């Protein structure tokens, strides 16, 4: 019997596409295609001259996107992470775009497919790569990284207060037999985490931290945000959907700084209206999933979306 396909419930679907204020003849970027929820809705708002470029590292998501690209000439799928935004747009001959959506984190199919090694709910090879065609697996990294690096990753990316004990246990275990499966890692972590928030598995924070590190998720976000500002046309929107505090903090601080004009010393006799315009302006308040969406998709509970719009102000950050 053929296994049922893994279903991806797109978070903040309507809110994110509305935030982009899609114009029929505009050019837009979907930074994480996933299974195409946001992309398909954006395409439905575009006219015949509109264009959408989507990115994804996951080969299974890419396969879905390639089928869509074969059906719709307005759509282009790039098999890479969104940190390659500027380079990919250059290769496509696109100098600027009218909107960019960044949907961060891991998708439901990646979590629910035990073979991918993202979840401690399954006993599977310890992989955790979003792009299974390249890079080091979680098992390979845990077998080779020194204890200090493992401790720092778990502490920083997982905000795990038992990081020191967990890292020491991993190094001690690999001297006997390196960790190879998600179950082995989850059991080891469980033995070294003495308290945990109600309803949260002891391995949650460690799995999150290792996944973020293996996929360079926060580094990619730091890389793409300046590129996004540099590539947005005036009036173009940037929407960022985050799923945990580390991602949201990066997006929040970046957008805050990009929306503030250069400040001069208080003694300089210049009126505020004469100061250079900031390159971005914040749009509305952060958006969270409503009760109806939370009822249908509890994983949306941690999602938060921030939106900003490109102004005519000069941008001195990286554009490529």
For the domain spanning 114-215, the CATH number is: 1.10.150.170
Beta carbons of 18 and 89 less than 8 angstroms apart: no
Structure tokens at 112: 């629910």
What does the alpha-carbon distance between residue 30 and residue 64 come to, in Å, rounded to a whole number?
14
The predicted model gives 122-127 an average pLDDT of: 88
Minimum mean pLDDT range among 101-105, 130-134, 294-298: 294-298
Output the average pLDDT for the chain.
90
Class of domain 13-108+217-310 (CATH, top level): alpha beta
Angle at 16 between CA 211 and CA 111, to 5 degrees: 25
Q: Is 56 annotated for ligand binding?
A: yes
Q: Is the pLDDT of residue 123 over 90?
A: no
Nearest alpha carbon to residue 19 among 255, 291, 218: 255
Q: Is 200 annotated for ligand binding?
A: no
Task: Locate the domains of the chain by residue range.
Answer: 13-108+217-310, 114-215
Would you state the pLDDT for residue 200? 82
What does the alpha-carbon distance between residue 302 and residue 280 come to, in Å, rounded to a whole number?
25
Q: Is 222 annotated for ligand binding?
A: no
Per-residue pLDDT band for 316 (boundaries 50, 70, 90) equals confident
Q: Is the pLDDT of residue 223 over 60?
A: yes
Q: Is the pLDDT of residue 117 over 90?
A: no
**pLDDT tens digits, 151-166:** 999 999 999 999 999 9
Pairing of strands 304-310, 280-282: antiparallel
Q: Is 110 annotated for ligand binding?
A: yes
| Edge-to-edge strands, sheet with 280-282 | 75-79, 51-56, 27-30, 97-103, 232-242, 304-310, 280-282
Q: Long-range contact list for 60-63, CB < 8 A, 24+ apart? A: 60/109, 61/33, 61/34, 61/35, 61/107, 61/109, 62/33
What does the alpha-carbon distance between residue 248 and residue 240 come to, in Å, rounded to a whole number?
8
Q: Is 243 annotated for ligand binding?
A: no
């Amino acid at each position: 019997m053929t296994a049922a396909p893994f279903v991806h419930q797109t978070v903040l679907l309507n809110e994110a596409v509305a935030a982009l204020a899609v114009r029929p003849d505009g050019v837009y970027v979907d930074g994480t295609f996933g299974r195409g929820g946001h992309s398909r809705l954006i395409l439905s708002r575009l006219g015949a001259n509109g264009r959408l470029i989507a990115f994804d590292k996951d080969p299974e998501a890419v396969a879905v996107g390639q089928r869509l690209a074969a059906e719709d000439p307005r759509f282009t799928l790039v098999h890479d992470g969104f940190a390659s935004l500027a380079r990919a747009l250059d290769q496509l001959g696109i100098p600027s775009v009218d909107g960019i959506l960044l949907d961060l984190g891991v998708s439901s199919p990646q979590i629910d497919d035990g073979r991918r090694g993202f979840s401690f709910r399954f006993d599977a090879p310890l992989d955790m790569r979003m792009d299974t065609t390249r890079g080091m697996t979680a098992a390979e990294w845990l077998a080779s990284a020194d204890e200090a690096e493992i401790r720092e990753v778990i502490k920083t990316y997982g905000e795990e207060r038992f990081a020191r004990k967990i890292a020491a246990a991993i190094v001690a275990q690999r001297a006997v037999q390196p960790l190879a499966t998600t179950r082995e890692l989850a059991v080891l972590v469980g033995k070294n985490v003495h308290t945990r928030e109600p309803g949260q598995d002891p391995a949650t924070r460690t799995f999150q931290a290792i996944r973020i590190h293996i996929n360079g998720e926060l580094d990619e976000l730091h890389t793409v945000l300046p590129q996004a500002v540099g590539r947005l046309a005036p009036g173009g929107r940037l929407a960022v959907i985050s799923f945990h505090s580390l991602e949201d903090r990066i997006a929040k601080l970046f957008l805050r700084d990009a929306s503030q004009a250069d400040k001069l010393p208080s003694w300089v006799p210049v009126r505020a209206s004469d100061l250079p315009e900031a390159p971005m302006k914040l749009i509305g308040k952060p958006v969270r999933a409503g009760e109806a969406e939370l009822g249908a998709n509890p994983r949306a509970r941690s999602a938060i979306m921030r939106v900003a719009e490109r102004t005519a102000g000069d941008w001195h950050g990286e554009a490529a």
